Chain A
Amino acid sequence: MPFNLLVLVCFTYVFFLFLVAYLVERRAARGRVAWLRSPLVYTLSLSIYCTAWTFYGAVGYAARSGLEFLTIYLGPTLVFIGWWWVLRKLVRIGRQHRVTSIGDLISSRYGKSNLLGVMVTVLAVVAATPYIALQLQSVTLSFGVFASDTPEGWALPDRNATAIWVAVGLALFTVLFGTRNLDAKEQHHGIVTAIAVEAVVKLVALLAVGVFVVWGLADGPADMAGRITASKIAAWNLQPGRWFGIIFLAAAAVICLPRMFQVLVVEDGDERHLARASWAFPLYLFLMSLFIVPIAVLGLERLPAGSNPDMFVLTLPLAAGQGGLALLAFLGGFSSATSMVIIEAIALSTMVSNHIVMPLWLRFRPQMAVSGDLRRIVLLARRLSIAGVLALGYGYFRLSGGSTALAAIGLISFAGVAQVLPAMLGGIFWRGATRVGAAAGLGIGFVTWAYTMFLPSFGSGGVISAQVFSDGLFGIIWLRPQALFGVDGMDPLLHAVFWSMVLNTVAFILGSLLTFPGPEERLQGAAFVNVFEAGNTGPRPWARGQAEPEALLVMSQRILGDAALGLFATEAKAQGKEGYLPDASPEFVDQLERRLAGSVGAATAHAMISQLVGGDRVSVEDLMAVANESAQIMEYSGRLEAQQIELSRTAGALREANAKLMQVSVQKDAFLSQISHELRTPMTSIRAFSELLMEGDAPVQVVSAQAGIIHTEAIRLTRLLDDLLDLSVLENGSVQLDLGVCNLAAMIDRAFVAAGSFTAERGFLVARNAADEDVFLHTDADRLVQVFINLITNVRKYCDVAQPRLRIVVRQKAGRVTIDFIDNGTALPKAAQGVIFEKFARLTDPARAGGAGLGLAICREVMANLGGSIGYLPGQGGPAFRVTVPLHLGQIGGRG
């Protein structure tokens, strides 16, 4: 195929991408971005992980090292199916803090430190250099493939010239689309869509070549398996160290590579899309890897020995005379290279302009923070950075000679960016990670990586002299670049990854443990680590200081353009103010800072705002004040809760008391009618019989009988009144106690005699224990006997079984004696237990009771006066009362 035609195809293809990007940008400008933000576009844009390294290099890798090439894709697969661990948190943080790049993430997490931003930027640029060189090399090689097979016999003009033209072309495309505007958030819809289209092209191309190889050149999968076993790839042996190490490296790289971070977090941070990509992206990788081994096997089989295995994807179809397929494959490889370079350049240029150019600019021209057009400067810085990044890549391509295997170059880059991993993971999961620790880890990791891997990649005698290789730096044998600390015979890649990651992590952890973070750092650390906690919208650090809203507006306009005016107007409306200028409340200033951070990075935005707001942003005192405030609120709400519990308890008690009062009131009414009845019945007979007596004509026997009735009734009345009087005396506490020592058994005996139980019409069994009862009490014996009499009488009156039995149990404990009266009748219902000790309470029908219902009420008052108590004892299988009395009244003390 003529070279010119190939160039024409390339141009047409680039123009097509251009068109796609342009149309999409126009749609996006009109606000129709719904389908652009679909999970499909998101997943496809992630596929920039598969660069020319995958497209060309994977086959070469497989031809050289068998299945080891799979490690590069298994690592990211594990990271993506485990998205709930890390990716989800990264995306959420990215969205909440408007992160513009991986450097911005690190800088922002560690207190918006510009030093860290610069370190990550430098690391990323240096690490990306071999990677970009890899893309240039692969595109140049692919041009070369077509050149050597052409019938016209045109020679590739000059390899380096081709590489230069490719680099310039890519830079132009990137500048045109990556830096056309300065978005509020670093999003480039046009580019992302073009990348998605390229992702489809490269997948289709690789699958087409694969299908052609398996079903066209070989005879289906079964035949293919046989050929694989027969080929020299089968001689491959899995090296456990490399297998594990490269899977880890690829897993680290997929989150740390600046371009992956760009598409993963910055361009479209949506967790729903991430959920879809968690399986769709591994599926994409799976499909990309599926035919790699067959292509490598057939390439080794069919093509002449010594042909570059990195180019099998192109040379196999060409050798089979399939020019069209080869062209498709060429476009696939071209897509892989261009998409990677474009996104990488955008990501790096954002970092360079935000973390290096802008801070320097503001440092040397502080007045520019308040006047002058910053937008142009930012854009110019980015365009120059893109050109610079590509120039560096070209430089590496020239220096390394452009002859190394693609995969080897890529792994250097992976190991470089993986140095960010400890600071990043530590930053989002560990609040104790500090700026000093992160800087130490990054620094040591970077130096180790550069010394053991990056610089040696230029070859012995390239940057590092052969003598240093064999004898170590300054002749120290422990500092040999590929045998650090005397660790000899390790695979160079593993050696570099192992030492750089170990030293990096140790420095990071030690640095963090030994230093104390500043207030800003602690605020940011808490906001990042606890990003999922409800209500966490980050701290409000602009607690002090006042800014002129107009100055803020002027400054924001220079970065955000007209969007700033809209932002201010919306805020003014929200604050309920007329016009365009809202109050510069801390919330608003903070919101504005985040908006600006989306354009120029957190550190720069922070510096610009603090120039206007003035003063240190936040002090330890402020931090403590905030903490105190929330602690006070927590305490206050805790107190409220306690009060509420207390209140509801009191309310419950009140309800209970009220219910009891109601019951007592009902009882009192019932009693009043009862007492009037009780008083009235004797009174009626006394009156009737006294009237009969007054007539005076009755015989003597009748008169004597009638006088007897009058007498009995008068005695009943007197007894009733005595009881009432007794009760009121007891209740007033004005009773006179006749204290003396008395035996308990004797008292109980007296009670039985007085109650007349031995002569009663209903005899009942009494169970007593003489030994227990042999207790001497110092108390008022008559009063206590009165209580016993009452209880025994009650048993006789109320026990409702044919064979009544009374059990008296005496126990002595802690200076008190308890006497239980337990009979075998029906136990009292729970409702009754509460009221039997109230005055006038009678449970059964009054006729049977034959009293006024004052007995137990008197007992209770007597016991209170004797320093003891009486209560109903539930759970004894029948009615049971417990009398508690002190052994020695006066020592324990009683009422009266």
Chain B
Amino acid sequence: MRRPVRGQRGPLFLPRPEYRKRRLVDAARLLPVFGGFLVFLPILWSPAGAQGRDTARDGIYLFVVWAVLVGLAAWLAPSLADAADDGADLGKDAPADDQKDDI
């Protein structure tokens, strides 16, 4: 997303907390993709045989997926909030004490 300006690109390798933070952002970006996959999965379940779908079971599946997605998002959110607060797009170094829980 960020294009480094010629002549002042960032460091090639990052210290551990910074690295963890970037992977966290990757996870946050992938979460909706993963969620979309799970939510669209029922499209593939062809109506089993002649008796149609089991609505109760479909419903339980969707609600479980939903709960799992909410849980994952809640797990990611606090650290991401710190990351978002560091100003620019993770380009700057975060204050050291903000990184404690990321290690």
Top 7 closest pairs, chain A to chain B, by CB: A82-B32, A275-B81, A279-B73, A532-B89, A534-B88, A279-B74, A81-B73
Residue among A235, A282, A289, A535 having the largest count of chain B Cβ atoms under 10 Å: A282
Check A637–B7 contact: CB distance below 8 A. yes
**Quick one: which of A81, A233, A235, A236 contacts B35, CB cutoff 8 A?**
A81
Check B73–A80 contact: CB distance below 8 A. yes
B55 to chain A, nearest CB (A): 4
Report the bound CA distance from A887 to B45 in whole Å.
Answer: 87
Report the bound CA distance from A67 to B45 in whole Å.
Answer: 14
Residues 3-58 of B contacting A (Cβ, < 8 Å): 5-7, 25, 28-29, 31-33, 35-36, 39-40, 42-43, 45, 47, 52-56, 58
Check B53–A81 contact: CB distance below 8 A. no
Which A residues are in CB contact (< 8 Å) with B62?
Answer: 67, 70, 74
Check B63–A84 contact: CB distance below 8 A. no
A274 to chain B, nearest CB (A): 8
Which B residues are in CB contact (< 8 Å) with A236?
Answer: 53, 55
Report the bound CA distance from A283 to B74 in whole Å.
Answer: 10
Which B residues are in CB contact (< 8 Å) with A534?
Answer: 87-89, 91-92
Which A residues are in CB contact (< 8 Å) with B88?
Answer: 532-535
Query: Known contacts A74-B66, A271-B84, A534-B92: does B36 contact A84 (CB below 8 Å)?
Result: no
A-B contact pairs, 5 of them (CB 8 A): A82-B33, A237-B52, A275-B78, A286-B67, A634-B7
Residues 164-222 of A contacting B (Cβ, < 8 Å): none
Report the bound CA distance from A278 to B60 in whole Å.
Answer: 22
Query: Known contacts A85-B32, A228-B56, A229-B56: does B66 contact A286 (CB below 8 Å)?
Result: yes
Check A276–B32 contact: CB distance below 8 A. no
**Quick one: which of B6, B28, B43, B60 contacts A84, CB cutoff 8 A?**
B28
A320 within 8 A of B: no
Check B69–A229 contact: CB distance below 8 A. no
Check A247–B55 contact: CB distance below 8 A. no
Query: Known contacts A84-B25, A271-B81, A275-B78: does B54 contact A286 (CB below 8 Å)?
Result: no
Interface residues on A, range: 35 or more
Which A residues are in CB contact (< 8 Å) with B6?
Answer: 634
Query: Known contacts A78-B35, A243-B43, A533-B88: does B53 contact A237 (CB below 8 Å)?
Result: yes
Residue among B33, B55, B71, B87 having the largest count of chain A Cβ atoms under 10 Å: B55
Which A residues are in CB contact (< 8 Å) with B84?
Answer: 88, 271-272, 274-275
A225 within 8 A of B: yes
A513 within 8 A of B: no
Which A residues are in CB contact (< 8 Å) with B1?
Answer: 532
Query: Known contacts A234-B54, A279-B73, A293-B59: does B7 contact A641 (CB below 8 Å)?
Result: yes
Report the bound CA distance from A66 to B55 in whole Å.
Answer: 8
Which A residues are in CB contact (< 8 Å) with B63?
Answer: 286, 289-290
Query: Known contacts A228-B59, A229-B55: does B78 contact A247 (CB below 8 Å)?
Result: no
Which A residues are in CB contact (< 8 Å) with B78?
Answer: 275
B50 to chain A, nearest CB (A): 12
* Minimal Cβ-Cβ distance residue in B for A534: B88
**Quick one: which of B32, B55, B85, B91 contacts A78, CB cutoff 8 A?**
B32
Given contacts A81-B32, A279-B70, 5 further A-B contacts (CB under 8 A): A79-B32, A82-B28, A82-B31, A237-B52, A289-B63
B94 within 8 A of A: no
Query: Known contacts A78-B39, A275-B81, A275-B84: does B66 contact A282 (CB below 8 Å)?
Result: yes
B11 to chain A, nearest CB (A): 15
Which B residues are in CB contact (< 8 Å) with A485?
Answer: none
B45 to chain A, nearest CB (A): 8
Report the bound CA distance from A225 to B59 in whole Å.
Answer: 10
A399 within 8 A of B: no
B86 to chain A, nearest CB (A): 10
B53 to chain A, nearest CB (A): 7
Interface residues on B, range: 35 or more
* Minimal Cβ-Cβ distance residue in B for A66: B55
Residue among A67, A229, A240 having the largest count of chain B Cβ atoms under 10 Å: A67
A776 to chain B, nearest CB (A): 56
Check B77–A276 contact: CB distance below 8 A. yes
Which B residues are in CB contact (< 8 Å) with A225?
Answer: 56, 60
**Quick one: which of B36, B55, B81 contacts A67, CB cutoff 8 A?**
B55
Report the bound CA distance from A286 to B71 in whole Å.
Answer: 12
Check B58–A67 contact: CB distance below 8 A. yes
Interface of A is mostly: helix
Check B29–A84 contact: CB distance below 8 A. yes
Which A residues are in CB contact (< 8 Å) with B32?
Answer: 78-79, 81-82, 85
Which A residues are in CB contact (< 8 Å) with B91?
Answer: 533-534
Report the bound CA distance from A271 to B35 in whole Å.
Answer: 22
Report the bound CA distance from A238 to B74 in whole Å.
Answer: 30
Check A77–B7 contact: CB distance below 8 A. no
* Minimal Cβ-Cβ distance residue in B for A233: B55
Report the bound CA distance from A272 to B85 in whole Å.
Answer: 7
Residues 620-643 of A contacting B (Cβ, < 8 Å): 634, 637-638, 641
B3 to chain A, nearest CB (A): 9
Residues 81-103 of B contacting A (Cβ, < 8 Å): 81, 84-85, 87-89, 91-92
Check B89–A533 contact: CB distance below 8 A. yes
A873 to chain B, nearest CB (A): 38
A638 to chain B, nearest CB (A): 5
Which A residues are in CB contact (< 8 Å) with B85?
Answer: 271-272
Which A residues are in CB contact (< 8 Å) with B29?
Answer: 82, 84-85
Report the bound CA distance from A283 to B67 in whole Å.
Answer: 8
Check A244–B28 contact: CB distance below 8 A. no
Which A residues are in CB contact (< 8 Å) with B40?
Answer: 243-244, 247
Report the bound CA distance from A80 to B52 in whole Å.
Answer: 33
B27 to chain A, nearest CB (A): 9
Residues 274-296 of A contacting B (Cβ, < 8 Å): 274-276, 278-280, 282-283, 286, 289-290, 293
Query: Known contacts A74-B66, A533-B89, A534-B91: does B73 contact A278 (CB below 8 Å)?
Result: yes
Which B residues are in CB contact (< 8 Å) with A535?
Answer: 88
Which B residues are in CB contact (< 8 Å) with A79?
Answer: 32
Report the bound CA distance from A632 to B43 in whole Å.
Answer: 57
Which B residues are in CB contact (< 8 Å) with A244?
Answer: 40, 43
Residue among B62, B70, B85 having the largest count of chain A Cβ atoms under 10 Å: B70
Check B31–A81 contact: CB distance below 8 A. yes
* Minimal Cβ-Cβ distance residue in A for B81: A275
B40 to chain A, nearest CB (A): 7
Query: Known contacts A275-B80, A282-B73, A532-B89: does B56 contact A77 (CB below 8 Å)?
Result: no
Report the bound CA distance from A286 to B73 in whole Å.
Answer: 14
Check B81–A74 contact: CB distance below 8 A. no
Which B residues are in CB contact (< 8 Å) with A70?
Answer: 62
Residues 556-598 of A contacting B (Cβ, < 8 Å): none
A209 to chain B, nearest CB (A): 18
Residues 18-70 of A contacting B (Cβ, < 8 Å): 66-67, 70
Which B residues are in CB contact (< 8 Å) with A533?
Answer: 2, 88-89, 91
Which B residues are in CB contact (< 8 Å) with A82?
Answer: 28-29, 31-33, 35
**Quick one: which of B39, B60, B70 contacts A247, CB cutoff 8 A?**
B39
Which B residues are in CB contact (< 8 Å) with A77?
Answer: 35, 66, 69-70
Which A residues are in CB contact (< 8 Å) with B92?
Answer: 534
Report the bound CA distance from A176 to B6 in whole Å.
Answer: 55
**Quick one: which of B36, B47, B70 contacts A282, CB cutoff 8 A?**
B70
A399 to chain B, nearest CB (A): 36
Check B70–A272 contact: CB distance below 8 A. no
Which B residues are in CB contact (< 8 Å) with A280?
Answer: 74
Which B residues are in CB contact (< 8 Å) with A226?
Answer: 56
Report the bound CA distance from A290 to B62 in whole Å.
Answer: 11
* Minimal Cβ-Cβ distance residue in A for B44: A240
Report the bound CA distance from A240 to B53 in whole Å.
Answer: 14
Residue among A81, A234, A244 having the largest count of chain B Cβ atoms under 10 Å: A81
Which B residues are in CB contact (< 8 Å) with A634?
Answer: 5-7
Report the bound CA distance from A634 to B6 in whole Å.
Answer: 9
**Quick one: which of A81, A240, A272, A641 contacts B81, CB cutoff 8 A?**
A272
Check B77–A234 contact: CB distance below 8 A. no
Report the bound CA distance from A247 to B74 in whole Å.
Answer: 22
Residues 684-722 of A contacting B (Cβ, < 8 Å): none
